[in-house]
């Protein structure tokens, strides 16, 4: 009798444990099913500066930006577009993460170019000649290699903490110039090569930090190949007006350069 009672008790415990496991699995599945919202973070390359048709406010969020295009094609349960022109890593931390929570299923972000002084680098290269350009590019590379990794870690840690169920896609930056292309005026070919090389360094650091956080890195250099400045079919503005749209993707760059990369990883 004692043996049978022990056996019955053990069986009951096993059933309870099994039910508990099933309940936990069901709860996890429910959480995953509920995590279907999309939050688009980042800088001007994500807000769509250069693509036109902007929403109100100073962030220049374009109707043609890849987050809006992805939303229109996929109809997420919720959509929050907080990317903003000029944003640095600190701006993302301070003002863009509010919508992230357990219901967030997808996060996209591009950030780091402004921290490294992208705008100032391009201004220097255009207005001050090759020597000053190469020196400014080198300064930007040193920042990217030595300081930016810690800044990216801070942003990525915060995203992972606030949106634990989300697929996070970190998007990189295109090459600005096609080398040996069709530009016969403007900055020197050596300056163009240095700027592209700095973009490579920025992408490499960003990809490594993303991977170390378990995030996906979206390399847009292949999709922009053949569409850089000096190519036959530019998807990037050169110097233009308004001036802040210079060296940013056009609407074609958002739809043809960025959107396919996000679609392939989301």
- Active site members: 44, 248
CA-to-CA distance for 232 and 108, rounded, in angstroms? Answer: 30
Name the region of 25 (left: φ>0; alpha: ψ -120 to 50; beta: rest).
alpha
CA-to-CA distance for 249 and 245, rounded, in angstroms? Answer: 8
Tokens 């392939």 belong to 264
Please tell me what DSSP assigns to residue 55. Answer: P
CA-to-CA distance for 13 and 250, rounded, in angstroms? Answer: 63
CA-to-CA distance for 149 and 163, rounded, in angstroms? Answer: 21
* SS3 at position 235: coil
CA-to-CA distance for 145 and 103, rounded, in angstroms? Answer: 34
Q: How far is CA 213 from CA 81, 187, 224, 246, 264, in A?
A: 22, 38, 26, 32, 19
């Amino acid at each position: 009798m004692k043996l049978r009672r022990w056996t019955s008790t053990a069986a009951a415990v096993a059933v309870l444990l099994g039910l508990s496991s099933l309940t936990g699995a069901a709860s996890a599945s429910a959480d995953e099913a509920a995590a279907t919202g999309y939050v688009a973070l980042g800088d001007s390359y994500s807000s769509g500066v250069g693509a036109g048709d902007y929403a109100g406010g100073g962030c220049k969020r374009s109707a043609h930006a890849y987050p809006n295009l992805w939303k229109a094609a996929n109809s997420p349960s919720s959509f929050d577009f907080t990317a903003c022109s000029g944003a640095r890593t600190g701006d993302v931390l301070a003002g863009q993460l509010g919508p992230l929570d357990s219901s967030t299923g997808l996060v996209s972000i591009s950030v780091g170019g402004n921290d490294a002084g992208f705008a100032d680098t391009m201004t220097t290269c255009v207005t001050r000649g090759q020597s000053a350009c190469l020196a400014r590019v080198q300064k930007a590379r040193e920042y990217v290699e030595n300081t930016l990794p810690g800044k990216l870690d801070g942003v990525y840690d915060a995203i992972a903490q606030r949106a634990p169920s989300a697929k996070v896609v970190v998007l990189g930056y295109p090459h600005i110039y096609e080398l040996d292309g069709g530009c016969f005026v403007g900055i020197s070919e050596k300056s163009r090569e240095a700027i592209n090389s700095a973009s490579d360094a920025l992408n490499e650091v960003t990809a490594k930090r993303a991977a170390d956080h378990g995030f996906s890195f979206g390399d847009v250099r292949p999709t922009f190949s053949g569409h850089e400045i000096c190519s036959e079919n530019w998807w990037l503005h050169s110097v233009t007006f308004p001036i802040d749209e210079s060296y940013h993707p056009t609407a074609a760059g958002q739809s043809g350069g960025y959107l396919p990369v996000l679609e392939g990883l989301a």
